A and B are shown apart, each in its own frame.
Chain A
Amino acid sequence: MKIAVCAKQIPDPAIQVTYSNGTIERPEEQVLDDTDRYGIEVALQLKERFDAEVTIISMGPSGTQKGLQQALQMGADKAVFVDDESLKGANSLMTANVLSELAKFLLADIVIFGTESTDGYSGTVPQQVSRYLDIECISYVKAIEVNENVTLTRQTVEGSEKVNMPDKCVISVTAGGVEPRYPNFKDIMAAKSKPIEQVSISDLNINSTQNLEFIDIETVENSKTGEKIIDEGEAYQVIVNKLKELKVI
């Protein structure tokens, strides 16, 4: 079994993202999106059961490759990425187009994602990749049981449902679905010798277009000048009075 799992390098999420001409500014050093740790964990659980090969796929400015290293430290075998100036500000469809081509290049049976990235949060790429690959998408997976079969539990609007993982599919994993493993010192050292390969966009079949045009970013003033009270033990009374005034109680 060959597994491709997506890892996006994003600016440190502790710092608010900044935009330049509508595109997120990306520093040289980017980190692994925490969202992807859940997908990588699922890939590693499958690897343990099926002796699968797990390859990280990524698109975007590679920079110091810190985020890719973090993905490899968790236990993936290798990484392939596409980094091309023409992909700057790529929309979700173009991103999915590139990642699906990488999955094809790797002959991946199973392609795994987080549900949405922390910086772009479009939340459509996993499903788009499945459509490009013409395989089903098991979306919003919140639990995995690896036994004889692999059973995936999907989040639905009403609750949840289960499916058995087919031989080929795309899986998107919700944050909190599994417990991502932390690499130890040995894992961190081992990751340094794992292969990271750049794939040229000219080797991929890209037919999507940049149909979304950035117009403007407008700042809105939405800070309120509310009442602020330091609690010295009696502040609850202010809340109670306010709730009465608002007719909640």
Chain B
Amino acid sequence: MKTLIIGEIINNNLSSGTLEILSKAKSLELDVQVITVGSDENPSIGLDLCKQTYLKRQSNSLNISKAATKISEIIKNEEINLILGSSTYMCRDLISFLSVDLNSSPVSNVIDFDVTSENVSTVNSINGGESLYKTKINSDKTLLLIRPKAFDPAEVNFNDDFETIDLDGSDIEVFDIFIEEKSGPQLEDSKVVISAGRGMVDKDNLELIETLASKLNAAIGGTRAIVDAGWMPYSQQVGQTGKTVKPDVYIACGISGATQHQVGMKDSKFVIAINKDEEAPIFQLADLGIVGDTLSVIPKLNDNI
């Protein structure tokens, strides 16, 4: 099946989400090409595995819709049937725009998919991973938004062999571009993640988590509840509507473990949960569960590590 992967650039290379989808597409022996959308000047994104096209946009203009228009044109001209993107901010925009152009509803939050000569089918994780929801797509064009970490990334050699298409800007000017300082381990690729929930009681208590994180060289995440409360930026949210993490060790501090949170962390290799409530659902996922006050346990950890 003719397949298009929408690529995204992180640190001048293709994002891990893009490479994860590429490895799955290759394993299904799909006829695949990548179209990457970004604003980097000289990215190294050419691929030895398949054709790469770079749609270059200006960072000072909000023109993701223009990128979608160009991609729609390519999909129609080249008779592409399957369009895949990672569930990131930009790909969600792009796939949504394309779905209207192609009059085919996308499937979001896909964790696995299969392609036969007849059709495409998908698997979604629902109810915090307790159930798998299976869908068959009955349209000529299939659009899938795939959750990060669903597949292992493809091993590729990057080169400079790709075509670049410059996109027009839009009337909406972008200013005050702020690049978050990426100091310390990042959620997506850290081997240890410490997450905080409502059981931390107060924003000021997050200092305890920060101290522990620096001792363990860990990244810090949080539940939607505390992100909504403004304790942490949205970029640190772990769960259904935030990031998916898969570290070697996940330490859940004062997190009850709502299904929406579980989806983002349930594939962690070793889960340590600290929670006052013995019945908290997080303990069902924990390899080591401590029934106790996280505000009394963490200071002791900090003093003894």
| Interface residue ranges, A against B (CB under 8 Å) | 16-17, 19, 22, 34, 91-94, 96, 115-116, 118, 121-128, 130-132, 136-140, 142, 153, 155-164, 166, 174-176, 207-220, 222-224, 226-231, 233, 235-240, 242-243, 246, 248-249
Q: Please, could you name 25 A-B residue pairs with CB atoms under 8 Å apart, sorted by A?
A: A91-B105, A123-B241, A136-B62, A157-B10, A157-B88, A160-B180, A161-B175, A162-B176, A163-B172, A163-B175, A175-B228, A212-B105, A217-B126, A217-B133, A218-B134, A222-B266, A224-B285, A226-B287, A228-B286, A228-B289, A233-B296, A235-B290, A236-B301, A243-B249, A248-B248
Chain A residues with CB under 8 Å of B31's CB are none
Interface secondary structure of B, over-half rule: mixed
Given A157-B8, A209-B139, 7 more A-B residue pairs with CB atoms under 8 Å apart are A93-B99, A94-B105, A139-B92, A212-B137, A222-B129, A226-B288, A242-B270
Is the interface on chain B under 10, 10 to 19, 20 to 34, or 35 or more residues?
35 or more
Contacting pair A16 B127 (CB below 8 A)? yes
Contacting pair B103 A121 (CB below 8 A)? no
- Partner of A229 from the list B129, B260, B270, B290 (CB cut-off 8 Å) is B290
- Partner of A217 from the list B134, B175, B266 (CB cut-off 8 Å) is B134
Chain A residues with CB under 8 Å of B139's CB are 209, 211
- Partner of B284 from the list A139, A220, A223, A231 (CB cut-off 8 Å) is A223
A173 to B3, CA, bound (A): 32
Q: Does B46 contact A (CB under 8 A)?
A: no
Contacting pair A213 B216 (CB below 8 A)? no
Q: Does B259 contact A (CB under 8 A)?
A: yes
Contacting pair B293 A231 (CB below 8 A)? yes
Chain B residues with CB under 8 Å of A246's CB are 248-249, 270
A38 to B138, CA, bound (A): 35
A58 to chain B, nearest CB (A): 19
Contacting pair B291 A229 (CB below 8 A)? yes
Chain B residues with CB under 8 Å of A248's CB are 191-192, 216, 248-249
- Partner of A136 from the list B65, B96, B103 (CB cut-off 8 Å) is B65
Q: Does B167 contact A (CB under 8 A)?
A: no
Contacting pair B234 A175 (CB below 8 A)? yes
Chain A residues with CB under 8 Å of B170's CB are 136
Contacting pair B65 A231 (CB below 8 A)? no
Chain B residues with CB under 8 Å of A236's CB are 297, 300-301, 304
Chain A residues with CB under 8 Å of B272's CB are 239, 242
Chain A residues with CB under 8 Å of B227's CB are 175-176
Q: Does B95 contact A (CB under 8 A)?
A: yes
B195 to chain A, nearest CB (A): 15
Chain B residues with CB under 8 Å of A139's CB are 89, 92-93
Contacting pair A228 B283 (CB below 8 A)? yes
Contacting pair A131 B134 (CB below 8 A)? no
A240 to B290, CA, bound (A): 12
Nearest chain B residue, comparing its CB with the CB of A240: B304
A163 to B285, CA, bound (A): 42
Interfacial residues of chain B within 101-118, with CB under 8 A of chain A in the complex? 101, 103-109
Nearest chain B residue, comparing its CB with the CB of A122: B108
Chain B residues with CB under 8 Å of A220's CB are 129-132
Chain A residues with CB under 8 Å of B287's CB are 224, 226-227
